[in-house]
Amino acid sequence: MGGLEALLIKAKGAARRGETEAARALYREALDRFPRNGRARAALQALDAAQADPAPGELAAMVSAYRSDRMDEAAREGPRLAGVFPQSFTVHNLQGAALLALGILPEAEAAFRRAIALDPDAAACRNNLAVTLRRQNRSAEAEEIYRTVIACHPDYADARFNLANLFDAQARWDEAEEELARTVALDPGYTEAHYNLGNLLAKRGAREEAIAAYRRAVALRPGHALAWNNMGGELLLLDRLDEALAAYDRALKAEPAGTQAMVNRGKALVLKGALPDAIAAFRKAWTLVPDDRSALLQALFEEAHICDWRRRAEFALTDSPSAAAVQPFAALPFVDDPGYQYRRSLACAAVKFTEGPQSFPDPPPSRDGRIRIGYFSADFHDHATMYLMSGLFREHDRSRFDIRLYSYGPRREGDAARAALRGQVDAFIEIGHLADAAVVDRARPDGLDIAVDLKGYTRGTRTALFGRRLAPVQVSYMGYPGTLGHPCMDYFTARAGGLVHREDRAAAA
C-alpha cells in the first residue's frame, strides 16, 4: 500500500498548492493502479466538483472567439477544455452554442445534453437544445422542451418567442399570436417579437394591427429595414400611398442597397402615377442585383406604359426563373405568342399557388333551387373591370341564380358604382381583412356551385385563393386575358370573333 499512500500524499500536496491538473493526474494514476480505492475516487470527484469550470483565463480564448463570431475557433477549443473540465456546464454549453451557429447540429445537440445533465434547470441551454432539434426537423421534441422551459420559467421570453415561431411554421396561427403577445408583454423591448407579430398579423389579413406591431419594432430599432419595408407593404395594400413611400424611404435609409424596398417603392410610385420615378427605382434595383430579372421586367412594363421602347430588346433577359413571380401580364406587350405566354403563366403559378385540392364535392342543392355563383375581385368600385361588366350583375336571372360578390379591394363606400352593385346581387361580402385560409372558411359554408375569379394575374390579385378550392366549378373571367397555368381553373371564359368560348381544363390550363 506504500505506493498508493505515496500517490495520495503527492496528489493532496499538489491540490493544496493549486496545481490542479497535477493533482488530478496523480489521483487518476492511483485509480488506474487501485480501481476500487474509495479515497482516491472521492478525492478526484471532490477536485472535479471544486474545479468544474476553468479559470477565467483558461476559458478566455474560447469566449473571445465566440463573441467575435469566430465559431470555428470556439468549436475547436471546446473539446480540449471539455477533456480537462468534463464537469463544466459552461464549456459544454458554449461548445453547443458554437456548433449550433456552425450548423453542426448532432454534435451541438450532444453538447447541450451534456450541459443539461450538469444543470437541469438551465433555461437558456434547454431553449438552445430545442432550437437545435427544430433545425433537425424534430419539431415535436422541440415543442415539448419549449413547453417544459415555460412551465418552469414562465417569464423566460425567448422560449415563448421560439415556440411562437414553431407554431407559425405549422400554420397554428392562433397559438403563435398568443405566444408572441405574451412575449412582448413579458419583454416590451423585444424588437424581433414585435416584428414577427407584425408578420403574423399581416399574414392573417389584420393590416392595421400589423402596422401597429411594425411601428413598435421600428420605435425600438429605427434602423430595422425589414420592419419598415413590411410596414410599407401593408400601407400599400390599404392604399395609403404617401405613408407607404415614407416607410420605404426609411427602409432604404437603413439599408441603401435594399432591393426589395426599392422595388416596392417603385410599385407605390406606379400607383401614384409617377412612372419615370418608378422606372428609375426598378432599374436601380436591377443594377444592384443583375441576376434578379423581376425588377427589369417591371421597369420595361412601365416604360411600355409611357411608350418608351428604347430598351425593348432587354425583354429577352427576363425569361428567367427570377422573374417568374412577376405577373405574366407584364409580358403581354412584348410577345404575341400564346405558347410563350402560357409558359410564363406556368412559371408564375408554380410560385403563386400553394398545393390544394384539385376537386371539391358538390354542395347540397340550395333550398330555393337556385344555382349559387360567387364572384371574387378587388375591383368592385369605380374601376375598368366594372365598366366592362356594366349591367352584367343587373341582368342575371335572379330567379335562377343566387349571386354573391366577395370583395377584397378597398372599401370605397362613397363610390357610386359600388353602391349600385349592392342592389343588384344577393350578398356583398367583405373579405379584404381576411387571410386566404380564413376566406376559404368564410366562403365554403355559402355552398357555392360556381366560383368566378375576375382578377387573374393583375394588380391586387388574390387568385391563389382558387388553388384552395372555393367551389366544385371554378372559372377565370374578364380580368386577365389568358390562362393562369394552374389546374384549379376548370374553365376560362373569353370572347373571340363575337363568340364566347368555354375551354375545359385540358385545353386551357
Claim to verify: residue 392 and residue 341 sit in the same structural domain: no
pLDDT in the model for residue 473: 94
DSSP one-letter code for 354: P
Report yes or no: 424 and 393 within 8 Å, Cβ to Cβ. Answer: yes
Beta strand 401-407 with 371-377 is parallel
Element (H, E) at 302: helix 294-305
Q: Which domain holds residue 12?
A: 2-43
Report yes or no: 177 and 197 within 8 Å, Cβ to Cβ. Answer: yes
Claim to verify: residue 499 and residue 448 sit in the same structural domain: yes
Which residue, chain included where needed, has cell 449550433?
Answer: 100
Claim to verify: residue 380 and residue 341 sit in the same structural domain: no
Element (H, E) at 19: none
Claim to verify: residue 395 and residue 500 sit in the same structural domain: yes
pLDDT in the model for residue 422: 87
Report yes or no: 398 and 484 within 8 Å, Cβ to Cβ. Answer: no
Backbone angles phi, psi at 376, to 5 degrees: -115, 130
Report yes or no: 377 and 409 within 8 Å, Cβ to Cβ. Answer: yes
Backbone angles phi, psi at 494, to 5 degrees: -140, 165
Predicted confidence band of residue 504 (pLDDT cuts 50, 70, 90): very low
- Cell (9 digits) for 262: 426599392
pLDDT in the model for residue 47: 67
Report yes or no: 214 and 198 within 8 Å, Cβ to Cβ. Answer: yes
pLDDT in the model for residue 444: 94
Report yes or no: 46 and 27 within 8 Å, Cβ to Cβ. Answer: no
Predicted confidence band of residue 495 (pLDDT cuts 50, 70, 90): low
Instruction: Report yes or no on 64 lying in a domain.
Output: no
Count how many domains the chain has: 3
What average pLDDT does range 310-331 have in this prediction? 84
Instruction: Report yes or no on 125 lying in a domain.
Output: no
Nearest to 183 by CA among 206, 156, 209: 156
pLDDT in the model for residue 198: 97
Claim to verify: residue 342 and residue 376 sit in the same structural domain: no
Instruction: Report yes or no on 297 lying in a domain.
Output: yes
pLDDT in the model for residue 49: 60
Cα of first residue to Cα of last residue in the chain, in angstroms, is 91
Backbone angles phi, psi at 42, to 5 degrees: -65, -40
**What does the mean pLDDT of the chain come to?**
89
Beta strand 491-496 with 401-407 is unpaired
Nearest to 94 by CA among 120, 124, 50: 124
Three-state DSSP class for residue 375: strand
Instruction: Report yes or no on 199 lying in a domain.
Output: no
Nearest to 431 by CA among 463, 461, 408, 465: 408
Claim to verify: residue 380 and residue 431 sit in the same structural domain: yes
- Cell (9 digits) for 168: 407559425
Claim to verify: residue 392 and residue 482 sit in the same structural domain: yes
Claim to verify: residue 413 and residue 457 sit in the same structural domain: yes
Instruction: Report yes or no on 185 lying in a domain.
Output: no
Helix 157-169 and helix 139-152, axial crossing angle in degrees, nearest 10: 150
Claim to verify: residue 312 and residue 408 sit in the same structural domain: no
Of 252-256, 417-421, 504-508, the poorest mean pLDDT is in: 504-508
Residue 267's CATH number: 1.25.40
Claim to verify: residue 440 and residue 467 sit in the same structural domain: yes
Of 1-10, 35-44, 127-136, 296-305, the poorest mean pLDDT is in: 1-10
Instruction: Report yes or no on 300 lying in a domain.
Output: yes
pLDDT in the model for residue 360: 81
Higher pLDDT, 46 or 161: 161
CA 199/CA 211 separation, integer angstroms: 9
Residue 411's CATH number: 3.40.50.11380
Higher pLDDT, 1 or 81: 81
pLDDT in tens, 164-174: 999 999 989 99
Cα dihedral 119, 123, 125, 126, rounded to 10, equals 100
Nearest to 356 by CA among 507, 505, 465, 482: 465
* Cβ-count burial 61-83 (b if 16+ within 10 Å, e if not): ebeebbeeeebebbbebbeebbe
CA 465/CA 476 separation, integer angstroms: 12
Of 41-55, 60-74, 344-358, 443-457, the poorest mean pLDDT is in: 41-55
Claim to verify: residue 345 and residue 405 sit in the same structural domain: no
What average pLDDT does range 112-132 have in this prediction? 93
pLDDT in the model for residue 50: 55
Instruction: Report yes or no on 426 lying in a domain.
Output: yes
pLDDT at 496 over 60: no
Claim to verify: residue 333 and residue 432 sit in the same structural domain: no
Instruction: Report yes or no on 126 lying in a domain.
Output: no
CA–CA distances in Å: residue 85 to residues 65, 88, 115, 141, 392: 19, 5, 12, 29, 81
